[in-house]
Amino acid sequence: MRFAPVLLAGALALAGCGKSETPSEAPATGEPGVEAPAPAVAPTAAMGEQVFRRCVACHTVDKGGNNGIGPNLHGVVGAAVASKPGFSYSGAMKAKGGVWDEAALDAYLTAPMKDVPGTRMAFAGVIDAADRKALILYLEEQSK
């Protein structure tokens, strides 16, 4: 049993080499035990192009392109609501009035049927705010 004290001393020495149970630095959030969230990626027009893929069954953004089930959205940002030539808008959309600026697009794209009761656009909306922002950036880019 002469080796027992040596083994015990070795085990105690190695136990001190492990990682501390309490962190020596506070997490980035400043709250103990809470990790900082991953940084959010700012929405871009390129991301909006991906979101717009949900819209292509009814809309296009081609300059000079034809209307489809929905109006061609080229030039929509800054345009008067219900003003695309050759498209038959619902009475509700015609009554909305105003201009398609960022705020109007955001409200409409969030919940089209709530923003314009009686609209014929059968789309529930873009729930994610970052996706909506990206889509609006894409539509702005397509309006130049």
Domain-wise residue ranges, the chain: 45-141
pTM here is: 0.72
Mean of per-residue pLDDT scores for the chain: 83
Residue-by-residue DSSP string for 40-72: PPPP-HHHHHHHHTTTTTT----TTPPP-SS--
Mean pLDDT for 76-103 is: 97
- pLDDT band of 90, cuts 50, 70, 90: very high
Q: Which CATH code is given to the segment(s) 45-141? A: 1.10.760.10
Checking if the pLDDT of 71 tops 90, the result is yes
Q: Please check whether residue 71 is in contact with residue 62, taking contact to mean a CB–CB distance below 8 angstroms.
A: no
Percent of the chain with pLDDT over 90: 70
Give per-residue pLDDT as tens, 40-53: 789 999 999 999 99
Cα–Cα distance for residue pair 13/15, rounded to 1 Å:
5
